[in-house]
Amino acid sequence: MGLLEQIKDAGIIGCGGAGFPTHAKLNCEVEYLLVNAAECEPLLRTDRYLMKHRPEDIIRAVEAVGQMTKAQKMFIGLKETYTDEIASLQKAISSLKSPVKLFPLHNYYPAGDEQALVCDITGRTVPPAGIPLNVGAVVSNVASMIGISEAMNDTPFTEKYLTVTGEVKEPIIVKAPIGTSVKSCIEAAGGSLISDYHILIGGPMMGKLYKKEELDSLYVTKTTSGVVIVKNDSALVQGKEFPLERAMRMARVSCIQCQYCTEMCPRFLIGHPLSPHKIMRSVAYSENLEETMKLQAVKEALTCSECGLCEVYACPMMLSPRKVNQMLKAEYRKQGIRYQRTQDSYSAREQRDYRRVNSHRLAMRLDVEAYYDYDIDKLVELAPDEVHISVAQHIGAPGEIQVQVGDSVNKGDLLGKIPENALSANTHCSINGTVTAIDKNMITIKKA
């Protein structure tokens, strides 16, 4: 069996983002294989733990994928501040006599963004609404490489490494079976230090926020990168819960057209024609949104990465171009409108090197600086009595359920199978037990 088939069978998906099936992404030939180890979100430490403790597994997987994709150049992009991680990987590279190279990045947000990473390492700009393959590159995550290293031994993707931090007694790295309750991850970190809080799944900039009352319905998936406990009155919570309607009203009366949102926009800086200040002006004063959406400047919202720098850092009036762009993208999707490029080639703007936002300063703006310098290196492995596993954890079609209530299953058994001719991913059982419930795409398994 070839490596691509092993990756497909193992059910590996992108661990650091939207969950694109890895076998589909890596079914290509490229000049550059780029591994994202920058962990661009402030506070997350999972990839750093993996680089320090499993460097040889990472390097072997990168080499194998490089050979499969016929990559001429293989780079791991990580922040220059990761001194221990750089030393660990460099030692593995030397020991294995590997052609893989490290590429130190500035400590900025969003250094781990796929298109920013391509621009930093190759000097090329991925076109708007394009993918790295358009410029001869493919990007994968460090955690995905760990999954690939295990798939090379025919071990399916059933466990997830994630950071648990914020207002907890002891910030830790958790290794949890897929489907483990988020509540048990927090308990493994000694529990919350405060009685009322919000739970952030992912990083503070692009993660999803949940109220404490929703905790019992949250479970670890293949894309869960972190669990952060934050105070209810933090700037982070207030910003994420800011309603769109209010953002629109404020835009009409408060936007001063300073253009800072555009000048700091990572997509604008790599050369895309996205100009958030023009979108804000057009939408704020629109009497007919449907007509306004026909403007090319407004259609550029389709290329927004939703990184959040415009609202968290750039705007002096505390407005939210990101929320406006999210609204527009949703409307365009409803109408089936896709982005059409207006030129053939793109290149980074000269000012890009001078407008990078330091991750530490960003943490200060988000009111999470207290957790920024945590050195998290303790691993806790969980063994839950029950897991809730979705067969729709990835981009594409849900897997076809292969079990029934009452079935006995073992770790590694196939729960969800890729439908024929569909973009999807396999899903496997993460513990030994019995299927106790199936609700749409969610399978509940209780330990034997």
Task: Indicate if the pLDDT at residue 417 is higher than 90.
Answer: yes
Q: State the pLDDT confidence band at 129, using cuts at 50, 70 and 90.
A: very high
Which option is the CATH number for 244-357: 1.10.533, 2.60.120, 1.10.1060, 3.40.50? 1.10.1060
Q: In whole angstroms, what is the distance from residue 271 CA to residue 345 CA?
A: 9
The domain over range 385-448 is classified in CATH as 3.40.50 = no
Q: In whole angstroms, what is the distance from residue 38 CA to residue 115 CA?
A: 13
Q: State the pLDDT confidence band at 318, using cuts at 50, 70 and 90.
A: confident
Helix 55-68 vs helix 3-10: crossing angle, to nearest 10: 120
> pLDDT tens digits for 43-91?
999 999 999 999 999 999 999 999 999 999 999 999 999 999 999 999 9
Q: The pTM is what?
A: 0.95
Segments making up each domain of the chain, as ranges: 3-151, 158-234+368-384, 244-357, 385-448
The domain over range 3-151 is classified in CATH as 3.40.50.11540 = yes
How far is residue 197 CA from its own chain's centroid? 23
> pLDDT tens digits for 241-265?
777 777 777 877 888 999 999 999 9
> pLDDT tens digits for 361-412?
999 998 899 999 999 999 999 999 999 999 999 999 999 999 999 999 999 9
First to last CA, the chain: 32
Q: Which residues contact 245 (CB under 8 A, 6 or more apart)?
A: none
Fold held by 158-234+368-384: Ubiquitin-like (UB roll) (3.10.20)
CB 6 within 8 A of CB 26: no
Closest by alpha carbon to 167, among 205, 193, 197, 201? 193
